[in-house]
Structure 1
Amino acid sequence: MVRVAEEALGRTPLYEEHEKAGARLVPFAGWEMPVQYEGVKAEHEAVRNHAGLFDVSHMGEVVFRGPDAEKAVQRLVTRDVGRLETGQAGYAAVCYESGGTVDDVLVYKNPDDFLVVVNAANREKDVAHFQEHTDGLDVEIADESDDWALLALQGPKAEGILQGFTGTDLSGLKYYRYVVGEVDGLYAVISRTGYTGEDGFELYVRPDGAAPLWRLLVEAGAAPVGLGARDTLRLEAGMCLYGNELDPETTPLEAGIAFAVHLDKEERFLGQEALRREREEGLRKKLVGFKVEGRGIARHEHPVAVDGETVGTVTSGTQSPTLGEAIGLALVLPEVEDSFDVVIRDRPVKARTAQLPFYKRQKK
């Protein structure tokens, strides 16, 4: 019997840097990615207190060009991208007609086109979805993911570190705004965005510029950070992860990202009617944050119960390095109130809802 070889994992342009730094590399969304270097807790604290550097080059970049580019993006995403100014980014969901979630994305409005940044695991699915639902529009949809590397420099010292290598005045760059400029002579899209709850930047550079830029920022004091701490940081910040809080069976309203859903926008988007109905008739489930009061750490897919009856499922959970408490997110029935049990290894453990985000940085 012939065994079919598993498809080779992708490697980002920073793979050799991770190897040299002694990273523990694991398969993630079809890529060989660093899960940690020094350790999740130390890396998490570096981002909260100083600055951390992430390789997120596995993310996908899809560009919409042509006379109907804006119309196409409007049809596909929940945010009204007509409200975006050139040089501004917006967080949005992509939905099926049912209201279920295809992906959560960032939309960048360029002078002549739109860049939609998609999750790595969804790249092929998203591009197929985009093409399927833009029939009749004069638009070119190009997957340009292989033309870019993406580094995220995050933390309170991120601006100070980056400012030493760019002529762009970063102090004037607002949250969710971006500029095209240079970092140490390398062409870069400098975006004040992130997935950690801290101030910081995402830097889109050409693949051959990724390793020199990585080494430069590490030498300037940024700590390399892996996917492990990326997850604990985003969870403390109450941010959704596709495949956990969001999936085809969960709408953006249920996942608590209604701020990214503009039901009133004139250009109809896929899933709009289903989401309008859901808003009028009520949610089938809702996302809540919680803290575990008993012993144990809640994990993805642990059941949530009230009086022995299952009322939902944990979507994400961890021991919070910042709070020193076990925290989590769960999708539960709308009638669930402020306390419930999380079933950890067949044992019900008390938990109480907590306001999101768990952690909010002090603004300057």
Structure 2
Amino acid sequence: MTQELKQTPLYQEYVAAGAKIVEFGGWAMPVQFSSIKEEHNAVRSKVGLFDVSHMGEILVEGEQALDLVQYVLSNDTDLLTEQKAQYTCLCNEHGGVIDDLVVYKLSDQKLLLVVNAANTEKDYNWIVEHTSQFNAKVTNVSADYGQLAIQGPEARKLVQDNTDVDVSELGMFEFYQNATFFGKNVILSQSGYTGEDGFEVYCSSEDIVDLWKSLLDNDVTPCGLGARDTLRLEAGLPLHGQDLSEDITPYEGGVAFAAKPLIEADFIGKAALKEHKENGAPRRTIGIQMIEKGIPRTGYAILDLEGNEIGVVTSGTQSPSTGHSIGLGLIQRDAFEMGKEIVIQVRKRQVKAKIVKKNQIEK
């Protein structure tokens, strides 16, 4: 299995640690080092460490780099600064999300797009297809970067103790381009995918093993994909390929803040997103909390109490923090009511649940 899959520079560290390794987006990645619950709780109570080097990095450079990036992304790039990154979406003409990503403005003529691992080649090709009218160059630089996520209530102190920049007041998606961390040159960003305080570190692929070992020497818990998924679900954060897709717009997928269809600049999907903003999207994302026993799994039907199918579960799990079964779902807009009881078709059983705020699923 692992010989055919791509490996991050930390692959041998997983093996040496005895991690359980699985395929994810074409990569051999650790699903857990100890147990999902132990790793999940470490992030909620102290600090956990994730290898996210499988994520893709795409560099856009040139006189019209900003114009190209604005044309292919749904957010307002005028809000970017050289210290403030942005969560945004790469959309198709219908407003569907090809990928959700973070963009870093390194200068007016140099922007770094951090994309989902499984979508890197697709995203790169999509952007290249739209470069002809712009004086800009697009390069897939994924192999040059390693990326770590340091997450949890003790993450800020740990990072501050080992960097040369002040992160004490660093806010969400604020970053330093030229920081030193454990003696290595890095991009240091206040960001993450867990709902906790935390940082993401972009470094040379040659430096990541040393950084990983330095962090583990500071009593940090290594974490795998399993905990990453349960943490992001408790926080109501979407996963592309499940909660977001080319058939789901930002307004339907619960990330409307990443779409700015009223700005003057044109971008791909703008007309469709403007329609959703002004008149409402036909579907919306909900948080799900089970009332009766059962776990809402991706693809399970969502019914109303009269038995009418009103939507589908996009993600689900059992919360390690509480033991409650939780999830995210996509339902018809007119079927939505906060607190409303619904039914999840769990295989052959119909199990009661309720609609809750997706970012306030009980932890």
With the length of structure 2 as denominator, give the TM-score of the two structures: 0.95
1:190 and 1:204 in contact (8 A); partners too: yes
Deviation at 1:7, TM superposition (A): 8.4
Partner of 1:340: 342
> Which residue, 221, 224, 245 being the options, matches 1:223?
221
Partner of 1:103: 99
Answering whether residue 189 of structure 2 is matched by residue 187 of structure 1, we say no
For residues 67-120 of structure 1, what are the alpha-carbon distances to aligned partners after superposition, in whole Å with 9 as ceiling and x for unaligned?
000000000111101111211110001100011110001011112411111000
RMSD value, Cα: 1.6
For residues 234-280 of structure 1, what are the alpha-carbon distances to aligned partners after superposition, in whole Å with 9 as ceiling and x for unaligned?
11111110001111111111011111111111111100001112233
Aligned to 1:122, what secondary structure does the other structure show?
helix
- Distance in structure 1 (CA, Å) of the matches to 2:242 and 2:181: 35
Deviation at 1:359, TM superposition (A): 5.5
Deviation at 1:212, TM superposition (A): 0.9
Answering whether residue 278 of structure 2 is matched by residue 276 of structure 1, we say no
> Which residue, 24, 41, 47 being the options, matches 2:43?
47
Residues 178 and 359 of structure 1: is their aligned pair in 2 closer, same or farther, counting only changes over 3 Å? farther
With the length of structure 1 as denominator, give the TM-score of the two structures: 0.95
Partner of 2:358: 356
Kindly report which structure 2 residues correspond to 1:231-246, keeping only aligned pairs within 5 A, or say none.
231-246=229-244
For residues 285-333 of structure 1, what are the alpha-carbon distances to aligned partners after superposition, in whole Å with 9 as ceiling and x for unaligned?
1100010001111111111112222211100111111233111100011
Residue identity (%): 41
1:153 and 1:202 in contact (8 A); partners too: yes
Partner of 2:82: 86
Aligned to 1:250, what secondary structure does the other structure show?
coil
Amino acid at match of 1:15: Y
Partner of 2:118: 121
Kindly report which structure 2 residues correspond to 1:248-287, keeping only aligned pairs within 5 A, or say none.
248-287=246-285
Amino acid at match of 2:82: T
Answering whether residue 324 of structure 2 is matched by residue 325 of structure 1, we say yes
Partner of 2:31: 35
> Which residue, 126, 129, 133 being the options, matches 1:132?
129
Aligned to 2:334, what secondary structure does the other structure show?
coil
Number of equivalenced pairs: 357
Moved over 3 A (4+): none
Aligned to 1:316, what secondary structure does the other structure show?
strand
Partner of 1:291: 289
Structure 2 regions of 5+ residues with no counterpart? none
- Distance in structure 1 (CA, Å) of the matches to 2:134 and 2:206: 35
Kindly report which structure 2 residues correspond to 1:53-68, keeping only aligned pairs within 5 A, or say none.
53-68=49-64
1:197 and 1:359 in contact (8 A); partners too: no
- Distance in structure 2 (CA, Å) of the matches to 1:280 and 1:203: 38
Aligned to 1:129, what secondary structure does the other structure show?
helix
* Comparing 188-197 and 276-285, the one that deviates more: 276-285
